[in-house]
Structure 1
Amino acid sequence: MRTLTTTEEFHELAANKPVVFMFTAGWCPDCRVIDPIMPDIESSFSDFTFVSVDRDNFIDLCIEKDIYGIPSFLAYTNGNEAGRFVSKDRKTQEEIEAFLTNLPK
């Protein structure tokens, strides 16, 4: 999974390709729980580019996009928000895969 480096990169990726942003933080225990399953999920949903967004480094972007809980997922296709799985709850592999399965491609 690539790591977001700038807010400009976020907007460029969101505008130009099917992308799923995973909002996370190093101190987040629920984020660490899903880290080991993310490579399998990325492999199963290879139509999307997956990008990790460190909440602490991009707090203004989180506020702009109403991301107040982590881990959370925000997806874009064709330059538009395609879906969001945003909450402070721990997420299972099945829940993440169900979210991704229902996204428009």
Structure 2
Amino acid sequence: MRNLQTTEEFHELTKESAAIFMFTAGWCPDCRVIDPVMPEVQKAFPDHTFVSVDRDQFIDLCIEQNVYGIPSFLAYAHGQETGRFVSKDRKTQAEIEGFISNLPK
């Protein structure tokens, strides 16, 4: 998973055909729980670009995107938000894969 470098990069990546942004932080224990399964999730959805967004580094972007709990996921395609899995609750691999599977094609 690539790491977001700039807010401008976020806005550019939203224009891709399928981008999934994972909002996370190094201190977040629920984020660390899903880290080991994310390579499998990415492998299951090779047509998607996966990007890690450090909540502490991009707090203004989190506010702009109404992401207040982590880990959270935003999906974009061609500049439009196609889905969000946003909460402060722990997420399972099955829940993450279900979220991505149910995104509009």
Same fold by TM-score greater than 0.5: yes
1:47 Cα offset (Å): 1.0
Quote the residue 1:75 is aligned against. 75
**TM-superposition CA deviations, 1:64-98 (whole Å, max 9, x none):** 00000000000001210000000000000110011
The question of 1:89 aligning with 2:89 is answered yes
After TM superposition, the runs of 4+ consecutive aligned structure 1 residues lying more than 4 A away are: none
Q: Distance in 1 between matches of 2:41 and 2:62?
A: 23
Give matches, 1:17-36, under 5 Å: 17-36=17-36
In the alignment, structure 2 segments of 5+ residues that lack a partner are none
Look up the equivalent residue of 1:66 and give its one-letter code.
N
Identity %: 72
Quote the residue 1:52 is aligned against. 52
* Residue correspondences, number: 105
Q: Distance in 2 between matches of 1:17 and 1:59?
A: 25
SS of residue matched to 1:94: helix
TM-score (norm 2): 0.98
Q: Distance in 1 between matches of 2:55 and 2:48?
A: 21
For the 8 Å contact 1:77–1:104, the answer to whether it is kept is no
> Aligned Cα RMSD in Å?
0.7
SS of residue matched to 2:83: strand
1:17 Cα offset (Å): 3.2
TM-score (norm 1): 0.98
Look up the equivalent residue of 2:34 and give its one-letter code.
I
Quote the residue 2:2 is aligned against. 2
1:46 Cα offset (Å): 0.9
